A and B are shown apart, each in its own frame.
Chain A
Amino acid sequence: DTGVSQDPRHKITKRGQNVTFRCDPISEHNRLYWYRQTLGQGPEFLTYFQNEAQLEKSRLLSDRFSAERPKGSFSTLEIQRTEQGDSAMYLCASRPQVSPYNEQFFGPGTRLTVL
């Protein structure tokens, strides 16, 4: 399978715990994006990387959120001190830097439930 993969697919945690999600993009896609999708809403942009550099962060990405892409391949998204409002689907997408259009390829998402 050469698509975008995310792990885990589901995560249930208690309020105040830390969680970490992983995204493996399509090989040779050097741009990687994170989005958050709450129930009944469209995905909202969180941040993106070009290779290992984090080039843009949304104001939605509070200081409890941190994302990394240390070797320019897979990426992790960590949420510290989770709150119930963090419950959402977290989507990862990737694309080549040079693209005639901005089509992004999405993974299946990680659904987070904070109790």
Chain B
Amino acid sequence: AQSVTQLDSQVPVFEEAPVELRCNYSSSVSVYLFWYVQYPNQGLQLLLKYLSGSTLVKGINGFEAEFNKSQTSFHLRKPSVHISDTAEYFCAVSDRIYNQGGKLIFGQGTELSVKP
């Protein structure tokens, strides 16, 4: 079984400041890792994913995340945020077992609020 913990429920930050949203996971098997963003009253949009290889993953809208296997973390970062980045961010995992369901296990979410 897998579980995901997002360590901050709310992160307020000023525009153009850097931000880090923290995510830790637990799993007995190898996993894929994802970050999704959800704008108000909308579905989820994939920001980035980690499959294998380089531990630094770049995504859309200037976001990047670093996979740390020893700390079982997958923190999301952006060097300079914009007002338009205000949204809910979800970290998720999925097992790598071939031909299994591939359901996503989500964290509780982090609300990023960018202030002018």
Contacts and interface: CB of A to CB of B under 8 A. Distances in A.
B94 interface: yes
Nearest to B98: A98
B44 A48 contact: no
A40 B108 CA distance: 7
Contacts of B28: none
A91 B101 contact: no
Contact of B44 (A41, A43, A44, A100): A43
B43 A91 contact: yes
Contacts of B94: 101-102
A109 to B, nearest CB: 5
Given A43-B90, A106-B45, A48 B103 contact: yes
B101 A48 contact: yes
B55 to A, nearest CB: 16
Contacts of A25: none
12 contacts: A31-B102, A41-B109, A42-B108, A43-B44, A45-B103, A48-B101, A93-B44, A93-B104, A100-B51, A103-B34, A106-B36, A108-B42
Given A33-B104, A91-B44, A106-B45, 8 more contacts: A33-B103, A41-B108, A42-B4, A43-B44, A48-B103, A102-B102, A102-B104, A111-B41
